[in-house]
């Protein structure tokens, strides 16, 4: 926690520029806001661009929920060439002939990846093996066995297939490695490939129109930091997929104090957004079939 920093609450959807780590982008915006507490969710590779949700203050409590959200990417791949990292930042390690497939044939091949499958994470990833990041081992030239993980591809839309260039848009579940998907697509076509450009367009229900460029944020901070803070999205907008439950004053105080409360039965059970009468957001609760509402994440937002 920073000294002399201010309590700032809210979300900012940054259009991360290339050549910057996700944490570096977070720290730049945190400094611009002079925010006491900050975090990000869904890291992007340094070379990747696009939506990086930055969470400040009480909004850091929604990071875990955004991490589970589905995502959409625009992907550009170079066929016929493999790199050690699976992207353009790596060194070329192999080449192969590229089959002459029509747009329709490429599209049919891509559609075969729609649905649920098991994916082996790449060595150049932040996953841990025996307490060490895989990319740390990879940089030492080590390769270890990785357990396949379930992923889901909801949609692939082919945008361009010309020569050694393949461009498509993919909607996928959390934990999907697009670099690995590109390599798997090439393997199915009988060739090699690596990701040249990766741009994340959406996270959960947030769309590309919600993003802000870093240069815009820097300009706003220079002109009027308070206005920039006021423009932050409230934490509950990240949870619009949950149904909302409203409590009266007495039940709201108990919920905020960590106590379970009783609400009218008959609503869908599971995680819900909880509000005090008058629509003040209190937090995330878990609703049981019998109407018992238990606090799971209590928010202490300033009025």
Residue 284 lies in a domain: yes
Catalytic annotation present for 290? no
Q: Is 22 in contact with 40 (CB distance < 8 Å)?
A: yes
* pTM of the model as a whole: 0.90
171-194 in b/e form (b: 16+ CB < 10 A) is: bbeeebbbbbbbbbbbeebebbbb
Judgement on whether residues 75 and 198 belong to the same structural domain of the protein: yes
Judgement on whether residues 212 and 263 belong to the same structural domain of the protein: no
Judgement on whether residues 271 and 293 belong to the same structural domain of the protein: yes
Judgement on whether residues 106 and 41 belong to the same structural domain of the protein: no
**Cα 301 to Cα 168: distance, rounded to the nearest angstrom:** 41
Domain containing residue 81: 71-203
Judgement on whether residues 188 and 270 belong to the same structural domain of the protein: no
Q: Is 156 in contact with 77 (CB distance < 8 Å)?
A: no
Interval 193-236: pLDDT, tens: 999 999 999 999 899 999 999 999 999 999 999 999 999 999 99
Interval 49-64: pLDDT, tens: 999 999 999 999 999 8
Other beta carbons less than 10 A from residue 300's beta carbon: 12
At residue 289, the pLDDT reads 86
Q: Is 66 in contact with 53 (CB distance < 8 Å)?
A: yes
Domain count, the chain: 3
**Cα 177 to Cα 221: distance, rounded to the nearest angstrom:** 34
DSSP 234: P
Q: How far is CA 22 from CA 75, 165, 202, in A?
A: 19, 27, 16
CATH number of the domain that residue 18 is part of:
3.30.2350.10
Of these residues, 45, 84, 87, 236, which one is catalytic? Answer: 45
Judgement on whether residues 167 and 19 belong to the same structural domain of the protein: no
């Amino acid at each position: 926690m920073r000294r002399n920093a201010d309590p700032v609450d809210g979300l900012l959807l940054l259009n991360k520029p290339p050549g910057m780590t996700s944490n570096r982008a977070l720290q730049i915006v945190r400094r611009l806001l002079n925010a006491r507490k900050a975090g990000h969710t869904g890291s992007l590779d340094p070379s990747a661009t696009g939506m990086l949700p930055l969470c400040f203050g009480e909004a850091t409590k929604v990071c875990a929920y955004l991490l589970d959200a589905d995502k959409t990417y625009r992907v550009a791949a170079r066929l016929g060439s493999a790199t050690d990292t699976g992207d353009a930042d790596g060194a070329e390690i192999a080449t192969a002939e590229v089959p002459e497939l029509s747009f329709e044939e490429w599209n049919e091949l891509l559609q075969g990846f729609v649905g649920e499958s098991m994916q082996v994470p790449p060595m150049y990833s932040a996953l841990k093996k025996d307490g060490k990041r895989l990319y740390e081992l990879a940089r030492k030239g080590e390769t270890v066995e990785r357990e396949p993980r379930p992923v889901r591809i909801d949609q692939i839309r082919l945008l361009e297939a010309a020569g050694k260039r393949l461009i498509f848009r993919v909607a996928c579940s959390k934990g999907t490695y697009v670099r690995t998907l590109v390599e798997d697509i090439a393997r199915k076509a009988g060739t090699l490939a690596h990701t040249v450009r990766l741009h994340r367009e959406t996270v959960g229900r947030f769309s590309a129109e919600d993003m802000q460029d870093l240069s815009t944020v820097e300009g706003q901070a220079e002109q009027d930091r308070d206005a920039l803070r006021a423009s932050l999205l409230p934490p509950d907008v990240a949870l619009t997929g949950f149904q909302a439950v409203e409590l009266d004053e007495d039940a709201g105080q108990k919920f905020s104090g960590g106590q379970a409360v009783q609400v009218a039965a008959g609503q869908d059970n599971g995680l819900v957004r909880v509000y005090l009468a008058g629509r003040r957001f209190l937090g995330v609760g878990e609703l049981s079939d019998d109407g018992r509402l238990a606090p799971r994440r209590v928010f202490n937002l300033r009025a």
